[in-house]
Structure 1
Amino acid sequence: MLVAAAVCPCPPLLVPEVAAGAAPELDAARTACADALGLLAAARPDLLVVVAPADETGPVRYAQGTPGSFSGFGVDREVTLGPAAEGGAAAGTLPPSLAVAGWLLERAGWADAPIEGLTVGEPLTAERCIQVGSDIAARAERVALLVMGDASACRTVKAPGYLDERAEPFDAQVARALGSADLAALKELDAGLAHELKVSGRAPWQVLAGAAEGADLSGTLLYEDAPYGVGYLVATWS
């Protein structure tokens, strides 16, 4: 059963080495993410599953200790998805969203429970996302989720998707849903609109909604902002 969840954004700019001189601009987001991971540790889960967006439809699974890096962003910085499991690092390479999660877990000194990674792509339907979440929640008696994903990328004219007047209301809807653990609102997110607004978090958030069914969790919104014209949200469910 799901006992706790943390929702964090996944821009590589969260990693100070990647952000370089602009690093202080996301200090508040980093602090909120650290607080959210602290809640996950306090929940004492038997299993932590990290759910993140990726290009493949998925779901694609990644073992604890899978390596990743930020070399694609011009930075020689390597990470793993949690501490390497006994026997050495797992095979494969983390996509950027899970590499950011690996950095957050490293920064938090995570050693509280086994970790698994799972990516879900934009084409995955809401129904499938919800089923994936339900299956995750049944994996152990006490399951925690770290859910990675960004809101719209169309909040300003300098945003990656330029300015779209629908972006701010969409992000506000998501913020309300995450801040109140509103499962119905997350399940009903418009996948077509999310695609048009370049939202990477829609599928991971709907996995969370499926995992939380029957769990009676309450939500808290820790951070909401749109630096660089992209919506970043941090929330906790417990």
Structure 2
Amino acid sequence: MLVAAAACPCPPLLVPEVAVGAAPELETARAACTDALGVLAAARPGLLVVVGPVDGAGLETYPEGTAGSFRGFGVDLDVRLGRDRGATAGRELPYGLAVGAWLLERTGWADAPLEGRGVGAALAAERCVEEGERIAARAERVALLVMGDASACRTLKAPGYLDERAAPFDAGIARALGAADTGALRALDTGLARELKASGRAPWQVLAGAAAGNPSLEGALLYEDAPYGVGYLVATWS
């Protein structure tokens, strides 16, 4: 059963070494992420699953110990998803899960066993919800670290340019995450999310599915902003 969740943004710029001179601009977001991970630790889960976006329409598993890096952004920085339990072969972590691994390392996570789950950006809402239900059933006490960004179309200089639909779309997600509203997350428009380049759509719908078995969860919105024209949200469910 899901006992806690934290939703965090996943831009590589969240990592100070990647952001370099712009690093102070996201310090408030980093602090909110640290607080959110504290909620996960306080829940004392038996399993932590880090859910993040990947390309395509499938599902990918990244065992504990899987490595990732930010070398593709010109930074000599490697990360690892939890402890090295020998699961170091195979694919590297995609960027969203690498940012999640960095957050866990930054906060010194050493509690429950964990794994990464990549969710395809084109995965249908129903399958996302089913995946969440499956994850929640894996242990008596499950926690999720859900990585994903809202729209990338909030300003003229945003990666997706300005789209007038972006601000209300992001506001709806913020309300849903802050209220632990699983129905609103399930109902997110897949096509609109794709058009607005919202990488968090599928991971948030996995969260909605995982929370279905625990209606007592309460949400709290810790951070909401759109630096660089991209919507970043931090929230907790516990």
* TM-score, normalization by structure 2: 0.98
2:119 alignment counterpart: 120
Quote the Cα distance in structure 2 between the aligned partners of 1:70 and 1:171: 27
Establish whether residue 6 from structure 1 lines up as the match of residue 6 from structure 2: yes
Q: Structure 2: which amino acid aligns with 1:78? A: D
1:60 alignment counterpart: 60
TM-superposed CA distance for 1:90, in Å, is: 4.6
Q: What is the RMSD computed on CA atoms of the aligned residues? A: 0.8
Check the 8 A contact 1:222/1:235 in 2, yes or no: yes
Change in 2 beyond 3 A, CA 1:65/1:172: same
Establish whether residue 234 from structure 1 lines up as the match of residue 234 from structure 2: yes
Establish whether residue 43 from structure 1 lines up as the match of residue 6 from structure 2: no
Change in 2 beyond 3 A, CA 1:218/1:62: same
1:151-230 matched pairs, under 5 angstroms: 151-215=150-214, 216-230=216-230
TM-superposed CA distance for 1:137, in Å, is: 0.2
Q: Structure 1: which amino acid aligns with 2:34? A: A
SS for the counterpart of 1:212 is helix
2:110 alignment counterpart: 111
- Give structure 1 regions of 4+ aligned residues with deviation exceeding 4 angstroms: none
Establish whether residue 71 from structure 1 lines up as the match of residue 71 from structure 2: yes
Q: Structure 1: which amino acid aligns with 2:230? A: V
> What is the CA deviation profile of residues 123-177 of structure 1, one whole-angstrom value per residue up to 9, with x for unaligned ones?
1111000000000000000000000000000000000000000000000000000
TM-superposed CA distance for 1:214, in Å, is: 2.4
2:16 alignment counterpart: 16
Quote the Cα distance in structure 2 between the aligned partners of 1:174 and 1:21: 30
Quote the Cα distance in structure 2 between the aligned partners of 1:203 and 1:50: 13
Aligned residue-pair number: 237
Establish whether residue 81 from structure 1 lines up as the match of residue 81 from structure 2: yes
TM-superposed CA distance for 1:56, in Å, is: 3.0
Q: Structure 1: which amino acid aligns with 2:153? A: C
Quote the Cα distance in structure 2 between the aligned partners of 1:84 and 1:104: 16
1:33 alignment counterpart: 33
Quote the Cα distance in structure 2 between the aligned partners of 1:89 and 1:190: 37
SS for the counterpart of 1:160 is coil
TM-superposed CA distance for 1:88, in Å, is: 5.9
Check the 8 A contact 1:6/1:36 in 2, yes or no: yes
Quote the Cα distance in structure 1 between the aligned partners of 2:162 and 2:97: 27
Consecutive unaligned residues of structure 2, counting only runs of 5 or more, are: none
TM-superposed CA distance for 1:89, in Å, is: 3.0
Check the 8 A contact 1:149/1:201 in 2, yes or no: yes
Quote the Cα distance in structure 1 between the aligned partners of 2:209 and 2:82: 24
Check the 8 A contact 1:65/1:90 in 2, yes or no: no
Check the 8 A contact 1:64/1:90 in 2, yes or no: no
Quote the Cα distance in structure 2 between the aligned partners of 1:169 and 1:186: 14
Check the 8 A contact 1:68/1:95 in 2, yes or no: yes
Check the 8 A contact 1:63/1:90 in 2, yes or no: no
Quote the Cα distance in structure 2 between the aligned partners of 1:88 and 1:226: 36
Quote the Cα distance in structure 2 between the aligned partners of 1:90 and 1:184: 38
SS for the counterpart of 1:60 is strand
> What is the CA deviation profile of residues 92-129 of structure 1, one whole-angstrom value per residue up to 9, with x for unaligned ones?
21111111001000001001100110011121111000
Check the 8 A contact 2:17/2:75 in 1, yes or no: yes
Quote the Cα distance in structure 2 between the aligned partners of 1:12 and 1:134: 29
The percentage of counterpart residues that share the same residue type is 73
